Structure 1
Amino acid sequence: MKVLLLEDDELVASLIEAVLTGLAADIHVHHAATLTAARHIWQRQGADLVLCDWNLPDGYGLDLVRTIRQSSEHTPVIIVSASSDRDNVKRALHLGVIDFIAKPFDVSTLHQRLLPVFERINAAELSDSPSLPLLDYWLEQALGAKLQLPGELGAETITPLLNQPAPLTPTELAARWKNETALVTRLLQLANNISLKRSGNAISRPADAISILGVAMSLNCAMAMALNSARGLSHPVLKQQAALYQAHAEQVAAIARAMALSIELDGASCHAAGLLCRCGELALLRTLQDYLDQGGKIDDHKIEDILKRWGPRYGNRLKIQWQLPIPLRELIGAVHVPPTQTTRKALLVMHLAGLRVSSRLHGPEAERLLRRAGLNPDKWLNKA
């Protein structure tokens, strides 16, 4: 399903997009920040659903609605705006707008308002659904769309944080979410979008990302992800593989942080990089689950081979999609590939942590790398 989202506030757009993509597995959101860009998207490819703001840098949301109605009378349109006075609502309804959601909105309320709209659209399309392509074509096509990670973050874990008498600090919130891979990457992505535009500085530490976004917005992002109805994996083999990859990433993160702190390096960045070191495989597992949910078939015995072939490509795509800063990308890559810049101790630390978790940190070469990084071989070498 194609959704056109017209919203000039980047953080609000990201929040709405998180809610949208959580409603179903086959949703592709095309975001425009200006009326001109939204018109171009509509004229080029149309949409099954349109959400638009009212006031925009180059016009009004109703101008887009008028463009849509020239070629489609039935495409559902929802206005999401702070301009919710009676006259504006009347004009929107006159042009066939099906709902009007006022800002600022509650994430849970937005989810509840959008859910029946998606159910109606899906019911209308069910009788005319095309046959699924072959798996390799599906995986290739998914690389061009917005990839997501599976996650088990529940709304019940976020709701108490919204109502605490004393708000949590960014450091406290980062500590609570230190092993929530999907959420950490989302917060880093949003914060870097802001930080790179403001100062040109890249963010690698989750606590810094929360500081830039603010605790309230970070909690809203977490709630949007928690409401993702398609967040989990139901296929037993995929679920088992995801648990293994997640456990591996958490172990790499913990060991990399401990190694880094022992030689006075930035432990938080190394921990974040370790947590993301299996993001490609996790996103691939989510895409395979989507394929199964759409009626596709996958041979369980071939899943491991699929992960080996496609996992690195999905990982590289995510680094670009998330706009991760170059230093953080290099730390993630060093887990899997020996760093050529052996003078950068942080890269050595990431590679050594990956070797240790895989029980491959032994022998003279491993001892040499540990000493080069300034680490004590007696403490870190894998025991025979």
Structure 2
Amino acid sequence: MTKDFKAAPRIVIAAQDPWTRALLGQLLGNVRCDAQLLQFADGSSALEACRKRLPDLVIAEWALPGLNGLDFLGEIRRLQRKPPLPFILMTDRTDSASVREVLPLAPTMYLVHPFNMDKLQQRLRDLLLAPGQEVFCELPSLAPEQSLDAFLEGRRNLSDGAPLLDEVKDALSLALDPNELDLDVLEQRFIRDPQINARLIAAANSAAQHMGRPCQTLGQALPRLGVAHSINLVMGMALQRSTSLEDPRLAEQAAHFWGLSQRTADYARQLAEEQGIDAERCYCAGLLHSIGDLALLRCLQNWLLASGTLEDEAIVKALRKFGAGFGSALRARWRLPLELRELIAATYLLTGVYGRESLVMNLAAQMARWPDEQPLKDLAASKAAQQLNVNERKLQSMMPARVVAAPEPVGETQTS
């Protein structure tokens, strides 16, 4: 069924998990950037909205609280609209009994996790665009005389986070078959990407997934989300705007912060293992500690796409001024566990009462930043190294290839 919409189509999304709603919103925005999206976490609220005014399309999960997606579809069919209202039912059920239960209600699409993004987007185009119809939406423009500082202040609490590593995007360009992947394979593919680690941990701790203690590592988050849901969330990130940094100056800075994050994470894991504490949690904190700087670079890419100008010096100044705030805002908005955020904060400063994990994070961050020309005996004299009994010889054995990292001297003091 196709329709030549004269006005923006009205689309209802019903999914318990906010990250799934965000993914669907991104997909729909790629097809119809002018669409009016109404998002609900339960079937009853979504049905009530449909009864007040029928939308042009419904996308709903089967596993909704209250009124489930199948019953929601049944209620929509009882409205007896001609032609039937397009309704996409999402599920992880592939058994024949479930399929037979659904068939009499004739969903427009029976969508099984993980989605085939290309097929889903093509189906959405068929439903929301007439043959040959195109819809163009202008990129958000800058306000008259808007300064870069004002733009970044406005984006700090709305940032989408960091860009993705190229190696992750390359892996996602392959047809990922969930039947051939397991959680260990996913962890190996995603373990180095700060954005994916943070977003999957946040998704695993959302109300829809919450159970027991909070997840603080990718290894804890993946089993809670499952292979299919994890792949969908990562593919949704890959579809977002500015996941690649096209400006070479921004890409160079991002490479520095990716490298800094990975070195900090690796040192943190090694130190934690030797101290007999949670190595994977320390690794994750090290990996995420520069996510604010990376998110800031992504926003600078958006500034350029909105026709802003960007001098080299302005990039360095923006990182110094806004990197910390972007990181704090992201970690709070994504509701990363407080314990993890405290470890991230320890990479910059030791305050109050601190334990061995905080000392490990602080020393790991110093090691990752330590200049080649500065003697390691000075690092061994630091508070963290002394309290962990890490001497100069030990540091030398752990730091065989020492790096002067930054393309520009970028300073930053972050909080959790």
**1:99-248 matched pairs, under 5 angstroms:** 100-104=87-91, 105=111, 106-108=115-117, 109-113=119-123, 123=136, 125-126=137-138, 131=143, 133-151=146-164, 152=166, 153-154=168-169, 156-157=171-172, 159=174, 161-165=176-180, 167-168=181-182, 170-194=183-207, 197-199=210-212, 201-228=213-240, 230-248=242-260
Q: Distance in 1 between matches of 2:303 and 2:125?
A: 21
- Aligned with 2:16 (options 9, 13, 17): 9
Maintained 8 Å contact 1:203/1:325: yes
Q: Distance in 1 between matches of 2:80 and 2:395?
A: 65
Shift of 1:225: 2.3
Q: Distance in 2 between matches of 1:364 and 1:24?
A: 50
- Name the SS for the 1:257 alignment partner: helix
With 79-88 and 266-275 compared, the bigger mean Cα shift is at: 79-88
In the other structure, the counterpart of 1:373 is: 388
1:236-282 deviation per Cα after TM superposition (whole angstroms, max 9, x unaligned): 11111111111110111011111111121111111111110110011
Structure of higher CA gyration radius: 2
- Aligned with 1:346 (options 352, 357, 380): 357
Query: What one-letter code is carried by the residue in structure 2 that aligns with 1:380?
Result: L
Q: Distance in 2 between matches of 1:49 and 1:92?
A: 23
- Name the SS for the 2:57 alignment partner: strand
Q: 1:146 to 1:66 in 2, by over 3 A?
A: farther
1:334 and 2:346 are equivalent in the alignment: yes
Maintained 8 Å contact 1:263/1:375: no
Number of residue pairs the alignment of both structures matches: 348
In the other structure, the counterpart of 2:37 is: 50
Shift of 1:156: 4.2
Q: Distance in 2 between matches of 1:367 and 1:321?
A: 33
Query: What one-letter code is carried by the residue in structure 1 that aligns with 2:356?
Result: K
- Aligned with 2:366 (options 351, 355, 366): 355
In the other structure, the counterpart of 1:79 is: 58
Q: Distance in 1 between matches of 2:155 and 2:177?
A: 34
TM-score, normalised relative to structure 2: 0.71
1:88 and 2:76 are equivalent in the alignment: yes
1:316-365 deviation per Cα after TM superposition (whole angstroms, max 9, x unaligned): 001101111111101111111234434x1111111111111111664276
Q: Distance in 2 between matches of 1:128 and 1:266?
A: 44
Shift of 1:158: 6.6
Q: Distance in 1 between matches of 2:314 and 2:139?
A: 31
Maintained 8 Å contact 1:367/1:377: no
Please, which runs of 5 or more residues in structure 2 have no aligned partner?
A: 1-7, 61-68, 92-110, 403-416
In the other structure, the counterpart of 1:36 is: none
- Name the SS for the 2:59 alignment partner: strand
Shift of 1:288: 1.1
RMSD over aligned Cα atoms: 3.8
Shift of 1:202: 1.9
1:18 and 2:23 are equivalent in the alignment: yes
Point out the structure with the larger helix share: 1
Maintained 8 Å contact 1:260/1:349: yes
In the other structure, the counterpart of 2:101 is: none
- Aligned with 2:275 (options 256, 260, 263): 263
Maintained 8 Å contact 2:161/2:292: no
Q: Give identity over the alignment, percent.
A: 24
Maintained 8 Å contact 1:155/1:226: no
With 251-260 and 85-94 compared, the bigger mean Cα shift is at: 85-94
- Name the SS for the 1:103 alignment partner: strand
1:183-203 deviation per Cα after TM superposition (whole angstroms, max 9, x unaligned): 11111001122598432x121
Q: Distance in 2 between matches of 1:192 and 1:317?
A: 17
Q: Distance in 2 between matches of 1:254 and 1:144?
A: 29
